[in-house]
Amino acid sequence: MDKLLIKGPCKIKGQVIISGSKNAALPILASTILFDKTVTIENLPRVRDVDTMLSLLKSLGSKIQFFNNKKTVKITKNKKKKIYAPYSLVKTMRAGILVLGPMIAKYHKSVTSLPGGCLIGARPVNYHLNALKKLGMKYKIKKGYIHANSNGKLKGTNFKFSNISVGATENSIIAACLARGKTILKNCAIEPEIKDLTNFLKSAGAKIKWIGKRTVQIEGVKSLNSIKYSIMGDRIEAGTFCVAAALTKGNLLIKNFDSNLIQTELNLLKKIGSKIKTLKKEIYIKGPNKIKNINNIITKEYPNFPTDLQAQFMVLLCKANGRSTITESIFENRFMHVAELRRLGAKIIIKENKAIIEGNTEFLAAELMSSDLRASVALVLAAMVAKGQSVINRIYHLDRGYERIENKLRKIGVNIKRLS
């Protein structure tokens, strides 16, 4: 199993190019099940979750061709369609459930494994199932699989999500594209990755329009057109590199990313003392000499502060001058990195869903273990400013969402190497 060796403290300097968004790529790839014609997707991130989704599509009867160093993929349909999404492929990522909606919409039948992913909370699939049921899907859960079917085409409906759910919003939008009649979905998630999905589907001829802040209307169409589409930049990767620059008193130019997508995060980084300039597809960030503390960061749905950057900001606030707090309101298990940060010397107290972070921490190198995707990168950040050589084990979590992060970090001044 691979591990990372990081020798600190490091200072970041130079420029980094942001990869395509994993969280936009996965639903877009899943939605290609709706198409009879060829789909070409560009700016694909080369991360483990994307490879898993492509393997899943292959097993369902899609033909996958790679171009441009595997960053462009051409997807065509084989004559043989399959409707079985096995546990062996779905167990490693939550996004496996996203093939359910398009399979029911296209083939009116599906056997899909219940998903896996990071152990950061319950994330129930009932939001997906309730919405798809309203569109006309019938289902039973047997031996860890969702056995689903519909009598012919799904039918347009009005549905309000009881909770805002990114995955359930995506699954329902995709399924409604081929349904008969009009669907109105309320209380939708509005993350930029969902807007990227709807832009992709609209470019292929789907009739989708946002008719309120969290309300989307979809008029079903008979089929979708052949399309070439480039995936948006990854805002969590961009945010992670911004934190890395702020943490190390660094000087970093971030390219290939629209700064408008992380305004909340950039405002917080300015608050702690970073100097930031933004251009159309670039962010320039200079880290402060002294990091100021912040009280009461709360993770919430977009456009608020994202849960996927909570662990990274926690590392930053360990180095702040004074006490800070972070409240995690999305996932109940998302402080699993805290125990490992304490091994480096962090002083963090957890009270229910609130972390109280004492600043002015001097991190000392240690051997560490990743528990989930974003926790992994938090340990990388902490090791970068720790004194001595740290070892980070179980980095397969990291590879699920970051494209060979050690190569990007090495180019900007981090003493890091991967051991296989």
Sheet holding 324-328, edge to edge: 297-299, 324-328, 354-358, 347-351
Confidence of residue 181 (pLDDT cuts 50, 70, 90): very high
Active site residue 10: no
Q: What local confidence, expressed as pLDDT, does residue 331 receive? A: 80
Better-scored residue on pLDDT, 333 or 350: 350
Read off the pLDDT of residues 52-96 as tens digits, 9 standing for 90 and up: 999 999 999 999 999 998 999 999 998 788 999 999 998 888 889
Check pLDDT > 50 for residue 121.
Answer: no
**How do residues 128-137 score in pLDDT, each as one tens digit?**
999 999 999 9
Q: Structure pTM? A: 0.95
What rounded mean pLDDT belongs to the chain? 95
- Positive or negative, the Cα torsion across 87, 89, 91, 94? negative
- Looking at per-residue confidence, does 338 or 373 come out higher? 338
Beta strands in 28-153 (DSSP E): 39-42, 62-67, 72-77, 84-85, 109-113, 138-142, 145-149
pLDDT of 276 above 80: yes
Closest CA to 392 of 419, 412, 354: 419
Q: What is the pLDDT of residues 380-412, one digit of tens each?
A: 999 999 999 999 999 998 998 899 999 999 999
What's the confidence (pLDDT) of residue 120? Answer: 41
Decide: 63 and 77 in contact? Cβ < 8 Å: yes
pLDDT higher at 1 or 198: 198
Domains of the chain: 3-19+233-419 (3.65.10.10), 22-230 (3.65.10.10)
What's the whole-number mean pLDDT along residues 87-111? 93
Average pLDDT over residues 311-323: 98
Q: Buried b vs exposed e over 274-305: b needs ≥16 C-beta within 10 Å?
A: bebebeeebbbbebbeebbbbeebebebbeeb
The confidence score (pLDDT) of residue 45 equals: 97
Report whether pLDDT(326) > 80: yes
Task: Indicate the pLDDT class of residue 333, thresholds 50, 70 and 90.
Answer: confident
Structure tokens at 97: 């459930």
Confidence band, pLDDT 50/70/90 cuts, at residue 116: low
- Alpha-carbon gap, residue 183 to 220, rounded angstroms: 8
Which of 118, 177, 242, 318 is an active site residue?
118
Mean pLDDT in residue range 243-252: 98
Identify the pLDDT of residue 267: 98
Q: What is the pLDDT of residues 68-78, one digit of tens each?
A: 989 999 999 98
CA dihedral 145, 151, 157, 161 (to 10 degrees): -10
Average pLDDT over residues 100-118: 89
Confidence of residue 277 (pLDDT cuts 50, 70, 90): very high
Asked whether the predicted pLDDT for residue 127 surpasses 90, the reply is yes
